[in-house]
Each structure stands twice: as C-alpha cells, then as structure tokens.
C-alpha cells in the first residue's frame, strides 16, 4: 500500500498589516530551487495586498539533476507522458498542503491565489484547474501547460489565469506560452498573457507589476470579505 503523502513546509511572509490573514498567496518555485527562492516575491506585492499571507513550500522531492534544491517531479525524461505522470503524482501532495494551509487560517479557496515559476508554474496550472473549488487567481511565470490535450476533459474550475513569459527564454521556449493559451481558451478558462521582450528565464519588474495587479483584481472578483 502507498505510504502517507509527504508534508510540505517552507518559508512564510506574514501580512504587512500585522493582522490575521484575509488572503493566502502560495508561491511555487522551480526545479532545483526551494521555497526561499520565491518568497522573495512577497515584498513586491505586500503593499498591494496588506492582508495577505505568502507561503512558499519546498517541493516534495530532492532535485535529481543537481546536488542541491528540490523538485516537484523529475525532468530526467522529457517525454510528455513521463512529465504528465510526474505532475499527477505531485498534485495530491500540493492539494493537501493547500487544503491544510487554508483550514489553518480559516480561509476558503476564493481567498487563495497560486503563483508559480517554471516547474512551479506547471504545477500551478495543472493543480489550480483541477481543485474542487476555484482559487481567486493563478499566475504562471516562464512555465508551460502539462497535458494540454487532456485539460478540456479534466478541468473542474476556471479561475482567471495570467501567463508571463520572456521571449528570449532559453529554458522553457516562449512557444509553450502560446500552447498554454490555446489549451486554456479551448477549455473556456479566462486567460491573460504578457510576453516580455528580451527577457530570459526569469521574472522582471513589469512582470511583477502585472502580476500584482492581477492578484488584486482576482481577489476583488472572488469577493472575499476585506
């Protein structure tokens, strides 16, 4: 029988207003990094979301392509079927973490946003569109849609999605954003996108600004109490 799911932990950035959190933003890092990498986004957004707590879990598995860092799933095989299987195995772990984090704070999915970079963006899109209830917003930076051909059949919720990608990304080709947009539109998921000229595999200031506005708008549309 399978063992218990790994329990995720990672750095937390408390609300800027020092009160109890009214919103929760989960930040999912990329391959070979850990939660300390993306928790650095919190100071850029806390002024816009002063009642939000930011959490950045360490991915469940040690990176098998480097002597440091974590991974959500292996990239040893780049075959689409292998990547899809890896994502499917990681989703229950992430779902359990998000459910527990919301319950611990007395929040609901409408008060949750999920933001991911690279491999974390792949997890954000796959998980966020298959949860039981919709989050306020999903943001994917420099990522891709895993299993685009199965999305329309598997989508359960349709939170607003923002995709941001550098047009000079040497790690995840910018064409992957175009593929993701097509899959999201086919599944009737509302999607906005931003291509950043000259940007490689990273997040720039304009991407941060657009992401911050998108989070504010998503939480406002979701209508949680302020």
169 labelled catalytic: yes
What CA–CA distance (Å, rounded) separates 60 from 8? 6
Set 34, 118, 142, 165: catalytic member:
118
Token pair of 111 as six digits: 């008060």
165 labelled catalytic: no
118 labelled catalytic: yes
What CA–CA distance (Å, rounded) separates 92 from 3? 13
Set 37, 51, 109, 169: catalytic member:
169
Set 99, 195, 201, 204: catalytic member:
201
Q: How far is CA 224 from CA 23, 28, 110, 169, in A?
A: 8, 23, 7, 36
Catalytic residues: 118, 169, 201
């Amino acid at each position: 029988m399978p063992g218990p799911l790994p329990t995720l932990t990672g750095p937390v950035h408390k609300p800027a207003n020092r009160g109890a959190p009214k919103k929760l933003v989960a930040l999912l890092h990329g391959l070979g990094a850990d939660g300390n990498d993306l928790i650095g986004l919190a100071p850029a957004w806390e002024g816009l979301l002063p009642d939000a707590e930011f959490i950045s879990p360490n991915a469940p598995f040690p990176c098998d392509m480097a002597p440091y860092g974590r991974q959500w799933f292996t990239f040893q095989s780049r075959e689409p079927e292998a990547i899809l299987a890896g994502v499917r195995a990681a989703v229950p772990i992430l779902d359990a973490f998000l459910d527990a984090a919301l319950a611990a704070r007395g929040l609901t999915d409408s008060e949750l946003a999920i933001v991911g970079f690279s491999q974390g963006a792949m997890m954000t899109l796959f998980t966020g569109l298959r949860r039981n209830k919709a989050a306020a917003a999903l943001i994917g930076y420099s990522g891709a849609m895993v299993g685009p051909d199965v999305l329309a059949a598997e989508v359960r919720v349709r939170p607003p999605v923002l995709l941001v990608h550098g047009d000079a990304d040497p790690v995840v080709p910018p064409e992957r954003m175009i593929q993701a947009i097509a899959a999201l539109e086919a599944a009737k998921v509302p999607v906005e996108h931003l291509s950043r000229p000259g940007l490689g595999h990273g997040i720039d200031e304009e991407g941060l600004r657009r992401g911050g506005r998108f989070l504010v708008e998503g939480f406002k549309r979701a209508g949680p109490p302020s």
